[in-house]
Amino acid sequence: MTDKLVFERKIWKQFFLGYEECVRIVPQSSHDLGAERQKIQYPLTKFIADGGLSKYSLFSSFNKGRVLILNNLKLAIPDALRDKKGWSSTNKRPDMIVFTNEGEVLVIECKQKNDKNIDRAVKAFITLKYFADNYAVKIKTGSLTRPLDKWRYYYDEKYLNKGFDDFNTTLAKLFSFKLYNERAEWAEKVRINIKNNNIHYGFAINDTKNLYDFDSYKYSIKDFFVGNNLDLIKSVMVEYNSVEPLIFIVDADENFFKILNVS
């Protein structure tokens, strides 16, 4: 165990009391008080946990009590992907991965409006996409190939020593998957959805200078990313079957959450 479990920390009490079954975070004093987590990531996490996305037809099944939100989960980058892309990193931590009880997947990277560096976010999107490939996760005692075992390993490695329930218990409590076969079937649905591009991804940004114009203008990624960043976005779209990333606008102070490029 760590010296201070997550439920005893100020950051949990600030945002997530009552969300013990559906939200997972990795407390870091150096990051938790920063604007990205305070103004974007954690308010959006709470909004999604409360079923806020379900008002959009694209996310009609993302209801309260039917989503599991994993913040900053560390995923190893497969050797084949590292070699293909020429990356030196060995792992990536998507800011938010959201699962439904039906195995639907949403991954979000949070960016402050003046942060122009999206290289880390792009690598996180691509790493998750490749997670569905049939590669083995190497561990000390051998390797893991089944989807449920891989998710369980990464989850337990990151969250178990924070005081959260283990992965199997979490799925049993939240989604009522008490049997191994139920959990394995769910993990296979996740894998298939990712593999077949039935996965949602996007950026959450606290760019609200035109807050009251968002309903009167059709936005696209070109309104937020230009030059080299737009080229990076296009490299992600190649992996996601040419689908543009979603743009989530967050103004925590005004309790304003909106997806710009969906109806």
The band of 218, judged by pLDDT with boundaries at 50, 70 and 90, is low
Closest of 156, 25, 1, 21 to residue 10, by C-alpha:
25
**pTM score:** 0.94
C-beta contacts of 224-232 below 8 A and 24+ residues apart: 225/118, 229/116, 229/118, 232/118, 232/119, 232/122
Count CA atoms within 13 Å of residue 206 on its CB side: 20
The residue written with tokens 């191994």 in the block is 180
pLDDT tens digits, one per residue of 235-250: 999 999 899 899 999 9
DSSP letters spanning 64-89: TTSEEEEES--EEPPHHHHHHHT---
Average confidence (pLDDT) over 92-109: 97
Does the pLDDT value for residue 79 go beyond 60? Answer: yes
Does the pLDDT value for residue 6 go beyond 60? Answer: yes
What are the residue boundaries of the structural domains of the chain, listed by start? 6-259
For residues 243 and 172, the model is more confident at: 172
CB atoms within 10 A of CB 83: 9
User: From CA 66, how far away is CA 62, in angstroms rounded?
Assistant: 6
pLDDT for position 4: 67
- The pLDDT mean for the chain works out to 90
pLDDT for position 200: 95
Does the pLDDT value for residue 1 go beyond 50? Answer: no
